[in-house]
Amino acid sequence: MKQEDAVARILDEQVVGYKMLLELLQRERLCLIDLDGGAVEALYKEKDVLILRLRLLEEERIRLMKDLGKGDLTLQKLGEMTGNNAFLDVRSKLRSLVQAIEELNNFNRLLIERSLSYFRNNAGFFSTFGFHEGMPRKGMLVSRET
């Protein structure tokens, strides 16, 4: 397999991976709106695995691109150098996906910040009743040995 084909294969896998990440973020948004903590936690595990895979693909792509271009080589330059317009199409898809992921990530971050603010305000309100006076506030470990 030529290195050019190997780069194209890696790029196709990246496009599929970024589409999966976008889908995960959309599901995360719905879970955040529904305040479904269990589902959010499961999605975070999926997201961590997927991001690790995307990171490995990116490192491989960069390595192959350096070998092809003897230095820093962009997808646009690779497309021009090889005359293969598929690289320019993939570049456009990746840019679009990354932009959509960034927007959705920012939206989800706002949802998380608002939820945290809501819970902090409620916790502050309930602490004004003085139910926990005299008790340690943090880091208490209880052992239940029988």
pLDDT of residue 134 exceeding 90, the answer is no
Q: Token pair 């196709």 is at which residue?
A: 12
- pTM of the full predicted structure? 0.79
Neighbours of 111 (CB within 10 A): 15
From CA 103, how far away is CA 54, in angstroms rounded? 18
Sole residue written with tokens 């690289």: 87
Q: What is the DSSP letter of 72?
A: -
Q: Residue 118: what pLDDT?
A: 86
Task: Give yes or no for a contact between 87 and 79, defined as CB atoms under 8 angstroms apart.
Answer: yes
**Per-residue pLDDT tens over the stretch 94-127:** 999 999 999 999 999 999 999 889 888 988 888 8
Which residue from 121, 106, 112, 96 is spatially nearest to 31, judged by alpha carbons?
112
Q: Are 6 and 63 in contact (CB under 8 A)?
A: no
pLDDT the model gives residue 129: 81
Give the pLDDT band (50/70/90) at residue 139. low
pLDDT tens for 29-78 read: 999 999 888 999 999 999 999 999 999 999 999 999 888 876 678 888 88
Amino acid at the residue 43: L
CB neighbours (10 Å) of residue 18? 20
Q: Is the pLDDT of residue 141 over 60?
A: no
